[in-house]
Amino acid sequence: MDLEQLRKTAAEIVDRDDVKYLIGWKQGSFGYRVAPSFVEDAAGAAELIFSPLCTANLATYLTLVEKLPVPRGQEADDRKVALMVKGCDSRAVVQLLVEKGIHRDQVIVVGCPCPGMVDPALLAENYPETEEPAELKWNGDGFLLIRGGEEIKVARDELLAEKCRLCRYPNPVISDISLGEAVEPWEPVEDSGVIEIEGKDIDGRSDYWEEQFAKCVRCYSCRNVCPLCYCQDCILDRLNPTWVNRAVNFSENTAFHIARAFHLAGRCIECGECERVCPANIPLGRLNRKLAREVRDKYGFEPGVDPEAEPFQASFKPDDPEDFIL
Amino acid sequence: MSAMLLNKDKWPEFVGKLAGKKLWAPQADGDAVHFAPVADGEVPTLDFRNTRVPPKQAVFPQTETMYRFQLGTEEMELPELNEETILLGVRPCDARAMTIVEKLFRWDIDDPYYLKRRELVTLVGLACNEPGLNCFCPSVGGGPASTEGLDLLMVDLGDSYLLEAVTAKGEALIAETKEILDEAGADSAKEKDRIISEAENKIIRTVDTEGVPAGLPGLWEDPLWQRVSAACLGCGTCTYLCPTCHCFDIQDETEGFEARRCRMWDSCMFEEYTLHTSGHNPRPARRERTRNRINHKYSYYVDKFDVIACVGCGRCSNLCPVNIDIIEILRQVKEAL
């Protein structure tokens, strides 16, 4: 993508009177880090980037923003928010529209066709992070890492994030303004992570998840980063009744993760953010992708592609197979 | 203070001699490292930079049972805390954090749980030859070979570890393992100094705290807080993985008639942390919560206990999913002063 075009377009958008800010990505404070950026003026627009490091799904900020009481005599700021989205991120926007979590006229979707993101952990493992901010670009079939004056060509397969290997929607499924040319979708690989677990017997699966969930510290970064976990009153925060105890142990942690996975069934758009942010390295993507696959295979439903669709968990078809009901 | 040398060939033997007590050591899990109990007969390696979750969990468990009781009766049962634990490979920042947090747990009342656990644990430190990218311990009063809070400091000299006892517990540990240790000579001390000064030079990122504790409250309404917190997700990563964060909540949990009162980590970055029953929240947004996190560490704690409640381990900067970087926040604070 042409960065000049991106910055120019962004500057034009934030210059509009009906726009509050544009949410995009900018260079982070060190190493490979990229930070979400809330752009309000041309100076902010000039910092925007779009690179294989822009993994974060910014759609979460559409619902994360606090709606504080407006002081007497002042009016609520209901100007539009512009949002930069990749293919996967755009599906979150569509799903939010389906669920009426946001209104279409509140958002300006700036679509960024995405040739694939890198796995930040893998990148740091193979090419240790330095203090000085580094740059990563798409380069033909691979990536170009520019670090400390040095240019390193890296093969796409070496660093491509798992969610991108599995990606079926590299181009935004919804956008008001599109930046750059659409990319040619690639053949997704088999979901070896999910297949591995499906291959285990019940005890094996139980052991696997017990080991994973035991590591959870309940920081809720997976829930908070998730663009589709936006309940104002989450069952995890409830004290009366306490659905999930605050005690951190395998049993409560499991209740938390299973509850979250079920609430996302037919809603998860597989952006992989939950797994990326987990400080305990729990492969949450496998859990959510398994349920997404069940919904796809059993009901032919794919969330986040059609803004006019009915929400999966609120829809009923007389010819649903229901072959799991005895 | 006695200094001894432990040849690395004898490391398994050294670990074997400690096996009478419960041993914890850093263990790898993918690209993360966690402190975990060492299985019988297993020999932990000390090849790690630092653990994701700090060893504070050994003295301040994420969930601590305060007492058990039966619904409908007045009897309660206190947990028995008597298991002596040795933590192997504690980084100096994390040990120093325990001395900082201890000030709070000794403040208005002596907290029996924290202090008992602190008494039962022996901290065997490992100096940092290769500090991490976001380490800034010297800026906040620590250092790669700081001994504050440790019972014993080990320094990796290549083929051997230099062992320096810091407390009586450390002396005892050396006495227990004496037969496989050698006296350390002057050249070992010199080698240690060389390694540590090299390590200090490898610490790139710094924080200038001068005037920050006194100046922070004056920045209450500064636009910087909105700027640095805009991207915050409101998760507990920065606080749960912080070695000095010590906030907790107390809850009763019941299962049938069996009940327990327990306390568990809480995070000032969570919305419900300051939510009143009336529905009012004095820290209504992530701006106020982020401001509190920085003020607590760099101003309130200094006011009360005369020490900055940050040891410069860099975990919050390393692991924040959206690059909220405490070093960058403090740079902006300094600029705004």
Q: What is the pLDDT of residue A326?
A: 63
What is the maximum alpha-carbon separation in chain A?
Answer: 64
Edge-first strand order for the sheet with B76-77 is B76-77, B63-70, B258-265, B248-255
Taking only the tens of pLDDT, chain A with its 326 residues reads 789 999 999 999 999 999 999 999 999 999 999 999 999 999 999 999 999 999 999 999 999 988 888 889 999 888 999 999 999 999 999 999 999 999 999 999 999 999 999 999 999 999 999 889 999 999 999 999 999 889 999 999 999 999 999 999 999 999 999 998 999 999 999 999 999 999 999 999 999 999 999 999 999 999 999 999 999 889 888 888 888 998 999 899 999 999 999 999 999 999 999 999 999 999 999 999 999 999 999 888 999 999 999 999 888 888 877 777 76
Q: What is the pLDDT of residue A134?
A: 94
Question: 3-class DSSP state for residue B98?
Answer: helix
What is the maximum alpha-carbon separation in chain B?
Answer: 68
pLDDT bin (cut points 50, 70, 90) of residue B13 is very high
| Closest Cα in chain B to A34 | B323
Cβ contact (<8 Å) for A245 and B29? no
In this predicted structure, the answer to whether residue B248 has a pLDDT above a threshold of 60 is yes
In this predicted structure, the answer to whether residue B334 has a pLDDT above a threshold of 90 is yes
Are β-strands B3-7 and B32-37 bridged in parallel, bridged antiparallel, or unpaired? unpaired
Q: Using a CB-CB distance cutoff of 8 angstroms, which residues of chain B are in contact with residue A223?
A: 235
Cβ contact (<8 Å) for A28 and B325? yes
Nearest to B323 among A35, A38, A218 (CB): A35
Centre a 10 Å sphere on the Cβ of residue B226 and count the other Cβ atoms it contains.
15
How far, in Å, CA of A194 to CA of A266, rounded?
Answer: 17
Tokens of A186: 């690639």
- List, as ranges, residues 39-58 from B with C-beta within 8 Å of A: 52-53
- List, as ranges, residues 241-280 from B with C-beta within 8 Å of A: 241, 249, 251, 253, 262, 264-265, 267, 270-272
B319: distance to nearest CA of chain A, Å?
A: 7
Among residues B320, B223, B135, which one has the least CA distance to residue A35?
B320
**Range list of H helices, A138-280:** 156-159, 162-165, 192-198, 202-213, 221-225, 250-264, 273-277
Tokens of A45: 């627009």
Q: What is the pLDDT of residue B123?
A: 97
pLDDT bin (cut points 50, 70, 90) of residue B33 is confident
Q: Using a CB-CB distance cutoff of 8 angstroms, which residues of chain A are in contact with residue B237?
A: 219, 221, 277, 279
CB-count burial class (<10 Å; 0-12, 13-18, 19+) for B284: middle
- Per-residue pLDDT, averaged over B152-169, amounts to 96
Cβ contact (<8 Å) for B253 and A245? yes
Q: What is the pLDDT of residue B1?
A: 55
How far, in Å, CA of A245 to CA of A251, rounded?
Answer: 9
pLDDT tens across B78-113, in order? 999 999 999 999 999 999 999 999 999 999 999 999
Sequence-distant (≥ 6) Cβ neighbours of residue A308 within 8 angstroms: A98
Cβ contact (<8 Å) for A225 and B235? yes
The beta strands (E) that lie in chain A are given as 19-27, 34-39, 48-49, 80-85, 107-111, 135-139, 142-147, 150-154, 177-178
DSSP state of B195: H
Q: What is the pLDDT of residue B219?
A: 97
In this predicted structure, the answer to whether residue B149 has a pLDDT above a threshold of 60 is yes
- Which residue's structure tokens are 């409908």? B72
DSSP state of A96: H
| Closest Cα in chain B to A125 | B31
On the CB side of A65, how many CA atoms lie within 13 Å of its CA? 17
Nearest to B251 among A30, A56, A246 (CB): A246
For chain B, counts of helices (H) and of strands (E): 12, 12
Tokens of A119: 């796995």
A33 touches chain B (CB under 8 A): yes
B233 touches chain A (CB under 8 A): yes
B249: distance to nearest CA of chain A, Å?
A: 9
Centre a 10 Å sphere on the Cβ of residue A84 and count the other Cβ atoms it contains.
29
pLDDT bin (cut points 50, 70, 90) of residue B47 is confident
| Closest Cα in chain A to B282 | A68
A251: distance to nearest CA of chain B, Å?
A: 13
Cβ contact (<8 Å) for A221 and B321? yes
Angle (CA) B260 B266 B269, round 5°: 160
How far, in Å, CA of A83 to CA of B6, rounded?
Answer: 58
Among residues B229, B326, B119, B132, which one has the least CA distance to residue A64?
B229
Tokens of A297: 């295979």
| Closest Cα in chain A to B205 | A131
| Closest Cα in chain B to A248 | B63
Q: What is the pLDDT of residue B53?
A: 92
Nearest to A131 among B34, B133, B265 (CB): B133
pLDDT bin (cut points 50, 70, 90) of residue B152 is very high
- List, as ranges, residues 203-222 from B with C-beta within 8 Å of A: 204-205
A242: distance to nearest CA of chain B, Å?
A: 9
| Closest Cα in chain B to A44 | B227
- Per-residue pLDDT, averaged over B252-279, amounts to 93
Do the Cβ atoms of A313 and A265 come closer than 8 Å?
yes
Do the Cβ atoms of B242 and B315 come closer than 8 Å?
yes
> What mean pLDDT, rounded, does chain B reach?
94
Counting every residue written for chain A, the total comes to 326
- Which residue's structure tokens are 């028995």? B80
Angle (CA) B125 B130 B136, round 5°: 85
Q: What is the pLDDT of residue A314?
A: 87
